[in-house]
Amino acid sequence: MEAAVIESIIPTPDLMNARRILAIQPHYDDNDIGAGGTLALLHELGAEIHYLTVTDDLMGVLDASLSPVKAKKVLEAEQDRAGAVIGVSSQIRLGYPDAGRYDYFELRANLLKYMRLLKPDFIFTPDPWLAYESHRDHIQCGLAAASAANLVSLLRLPSSDPEVDRNYQPHDLTGVAFYYSATPNTPVDISGTNEKKIQAIRCYEAQFMREDMEMLLQVLTRKESQYAQSQGMELAEGLKVMAPMQLHCGL
């Protein structure tokens, strides 16, 4: 007997209504690679977009002669350029060590802080339940973001900043959009913004050799086309959008 799979019975929030987005990424290019077309589209539709990058992303810098301090400057400049293409209002950088050790609870408290400070209605982040994702930064980032989204309104739970907690009044966080998901429920047509997405990704020169960059862009396009076809579209990013309360007990 085949086991029945129990699905959530709560309706999927409508991403297209997003007004203020906090997009939380492990490395400096994940938001753009995973959801750059969608984010550019939402910006065109009037949404305010903030990026938060968890790690310092230093491990993948190709030029071995760059010191950490210089490499960091290069990365930030690239990220600023890419952000201008997508329409990012601000860049928050937590600076945890790339592929390194950092504390889940400290990270979550930092995410709580920025959720309470900026009061976004939508969170973007990588899907940490993606099977065969081996990068701990992605798993920790996605789990901490999901947990913070689920618990943000509990006033007894401290963020990393008492000043922020002091002034916070619970607000309405509508949804979490996971990218890099194996089971998307929300296809977003990015035919109109894919150019921006590609232009943004091309800014990230410090970590991709020219031919690797071309291969990455080809792979992305092929995945987006393939998924789009199954949805009757031409080019689409697939997101898993959920209400915060769905992130608990399988509701």
- Strands 122-126 and 90-96, sheet pairing: unpaired
Q: Which of residues 31-90 bind its own copies (CB under 8 A)?
A: 33-34, 58-61, 64, 69
Size of the site for its own copies (CB under 8 A): 80
The reply to whether 23 sits near its own copies by the rule CB under 8 A is no
The reply to whether 133 sits near its own copies by the rule CB under 8 A is yes
Q: Which of residues 188-207 bind its own copies (CB under 8 A)?
A: none
The reply to whether 19 sits near its own copies by the rule CB under 8 A is no
- Interacting residue with its own copies among 162, 192, 209, 234 (CB under 8 A): 162
56, 26 Cβ separation under 8 angstroms: no
The reply to whether 246 sits near its own copies by the rule CB under 8 A is yes
Tell me whether residue 144 is exposed, middle or buried, using C-beta atoms within 10 angstroms of its C-beta: 0 to 12, 13 to 18, 19 or more: buried
Residue closer to its own copies (CB basis): 199 or 231:
231
**What CA–CA distance (Å, rounded) separates 108 from 140?**
9
Closest approach of its own copies to the CB of residue 157, in Å: 5
Q: Which of residues 89-108 bind its own copies (CB under 8 A)?
A: 92-93, 95, 97, 99-101, 103-106
> Per-residue b/e over 16-54, b at no fewer than 16 CB within 10 Å?
eebeebbbbbbbbbbbbbbbbbbbbbbbeeebbbbbbbb
Closest approach of its own copies to the CB of residue 146, in Å: 4
- Range in contact with its own copies (rule: CB under 8 A) among 2-10, 15-23, 43-51, 194-202: 2-10
145, 202 Cβ separation under 8 angstroms: no
- Range in contact with its own copies (rule: CB under 8 A) among 14-22, 35-43, 46-54, 182-190: 182-190
Closest approach of its own copies to the CB of residue 44, in Å: 25
Closest approach of its own copies to the CB of residue 9, in Å: 6
87, 44 Cβ separation under 8 angstroms: yes
Closest approach of its own copies to the CB of residue 19, in Å: 22
HSE value, Cβ hemisphere, 13 Å, CA-based, for 151 = 17
96, 107 Cβ separation under 8 angstroms: yes
> Which of 110, 108, 245 has its CA nearest to residue 176?
245
